[in-house]
A and B are shown apart, each in its own frame.
Chain A
Amino acid sequence: MVAQMSSKVLVPRKPGTPAKRWILWVAAMRAWLFLALLLIVFEIWSRLSYGTTFVLSSYNAQSITIFAVAPLLLALGETFVIIAGGIDLSVGFIMGLSAVIAALVTNKAGAVLPPFPAMLAGIAAGLGVSLVPGAVNGWLISKLKVPPFIGTLGMFGVARGAAFILASGTTVPVSNSWFAALGNGRFLGFPVIVIIAALFVLVMHYLLGQTRFGQHTYALGASEQAAVRAGIGVGRHTRKLYLLSALCAGLGGVLYTARFTAGAAQAGEPLLLDSIAAVVIGGASLFGGSGTILGTVAGSLVIAVIQYGLVFIDVEPFWQFVAVGIVIIISVLVDQTQRKFGGDR
């Protein structure tokens, strides 16, 4: 009695022509392609102008990775927020706040404690204080329904002011041998802060790709309605996201203090744009729903290579901004093309 009972095969719409498929592949890999392209350009330039290698110099490689650590840390937290369809503009000054607090508390604790526990106290304080603006961000956005752009912009101002007030408008030097070793020491030949950042990348990669938390972050970015109807506590999840983002910034601040043995309110000032750029270059969409940790790592490296490479080849440093800006714009254009061809609604 049922007329058509023939089997149906569910076939996802695929971009038809090879050209379109190629575009999609390029779009997905754009951060790594950018990186490869930049390295090739700088390598050729370096060989022609100086007769030396750029890429194979371990000094350059190390400088670039150290350079990339702080923007990468901010970008890792930002990746989650952006995938969920939000944005966190306050990370730069949360980083500054954390750097200042870590320095102040390490010094205060150092007056009564040996250096190692004093450093631990400073680290704990730096990370802990970052959670305060993170919690306020989450509360504003999830409870008071303030748009993320506005709420975190407000927090940008508050954290900035607080950091400068606490630092009395100057930098706060730290005298703690352990802290200095953390920031500038090596372990098995690798800079300690690069090792810490690499371990953190692994944890974030796991969190985004392999846990419910990560899965729900993607779902939230695709459709808040879908998340709500699946029984996901959207408000709670949002609060966790902004806490995570702030914590990443806090770690960035602590490592800044370690590296420069001084906390500064403006520690993260130039890094907000860099971190968002890293996420976008890494393949995340500012519309939410897509992005990966490995992409963000590549995006951070792209920015670090541009900034370091331009200095290396003696271009005026202001060209960095132009170059990073161009790469961001290209990335967003690629993202739009990808959406058009990829069937993502």
Chain B
Amino acid sequence: MSAVSASSQPILDVRSVSKRFGGVEALKGVSLQLHPGEVVALAGDNGAGKSTLTKMISGVYAADGGEIRLDGKPVSFATPEAARREGIETIYQDLALADNLSIGANIFLGREPMRRAFGFLPVLDRRAMAVAAKETMATLDFHVDRLDAPVGRFSGGQRQAVAIGRAIYWNARVILMDEPTAALGVPEQRKVISLIKMLKDQGRGVIFISHNLQDIFAVSDRIIVLLRGSLAGERRIQDTNHDEVVKLMIGG
């Protein structure tokens, strides 16, 4: 079930966006489509514009030119919160978790559920947070035994799972990951790769940036290679190989 039907409507349709930082043209009219249940890898040398592209999708930067469509409708997000409300979540490299809070508290950070104690006093509904955390992590095939433990006690890959769990709890349809495996050891990298597969099986669209061709070939449906802000090439993963991708990356 990995074949992508090009006929289905993309959730995300980026049409020749461009971005300039002072004298630097970080992106020069790059287009990209993402379908439900599809994993697209963004590759390219340092400074190619990968992070800039994902930041434009997630509302961190506004595009100087071009447009972004979500479900066919043109959108322009003023802030990352606005993008998140539409189901576009970013998993940051540094995770952005509060290490001293539990998994549930992190999932709900900023949108905590409340209940009434003694019938009148509003208090945090920790039980609801714990239950949601347990269920959400279970959909990622992670089974948590200590729901009150602060996430700082978990390993890097597990924390990545928590960050992803937060995204899927809030119904992310498009998940952007900027080098999600870069800071992890090899076994942890595998876990993240299997998490990405799981997101795909759940019908979500994933864009992930990686310098690791092994990872890219293990999990992506398509690869998009950027070179100095332009599209160097786009391939379906079964139609290409490491050599070709490397050539695209260095502009050979």
B145 interface residue, CB < 8 Å from A? yes
Known: A210-B123, A229-B92. A219 touches B141 (CB 8 A): no
Query: How many positions in chain A have a CB within 8 Å of any CB in the partner chain?
Result: 36
Q: Which of B98, B114, B161 has the most CB of A within 10 A?
A: B98
CA distance A98 to B29 in the complex (A): 62
Chain B residue at minimal CB-CB distance from A13: B153
Contact indicator A344/B96 (Cβ below 8 Å): no
Known: A8-B191, A215-B105. A223 touches B98 (CB 8 A): yes
Contact indicator A225/B94 (Cβ below 8 Å): yes
Q: Taking beta carbons and an 8 Å cutoff, which residues of A are in contact with B? A: 2-5, 7-14, 206, 210-212, 215-216, 218-219, 221-223, 225-227, 229-232, 289-290, 342-345
B189 interface residue, CB < 8 Å from A? no
The 8 Å CB contact of B80, one of A5, A229, A343, is A229
Sorted nearest first, the 5 A-B pairs with minimum C-beta distance are A230-B110, A12-B149, A12-B153, A230-B109, A219-B98
The 8 Å CB contact of B141, one of A8, A215, A216, is A8
Which of chain A's residues have a CB closer than 8 A to the CB of B109? 215-216, 219, 226-227, 230, 232
Contact indicator B98/A10 (Cβ below 8 Å): no
Q: List 5 A-B contacts (CB under 8 A).
A: A10-B103, A13-B153, A13-B154, A229-B96, A289-B99
CA distance A225 to B142 in the complex (A): 26
CA distance A210 to B142 in the complex (A): 28
Q: Which of A8, A210, A345 has the most CB of B within 10 A?
A: A8
Chain B residue at minimal CB-CB distance from A223: B98
B9 interface residue, CB < 8 Å from A? no
Which of chain A's residues have a CB closer than 8 A to the CB of B110? 216, 227, 230-232
Contact indicator A11/B105 (Cβ below 8 Å): no
Give a binary string over B103-130; 1 marks a CB under 8 Å from any A CB, 0 the rest: 1011001111010010001111000000
Chain B residue at minimal CB-CB distance from A228: B96
CA distance A3 to B96 in the complex (A): 30
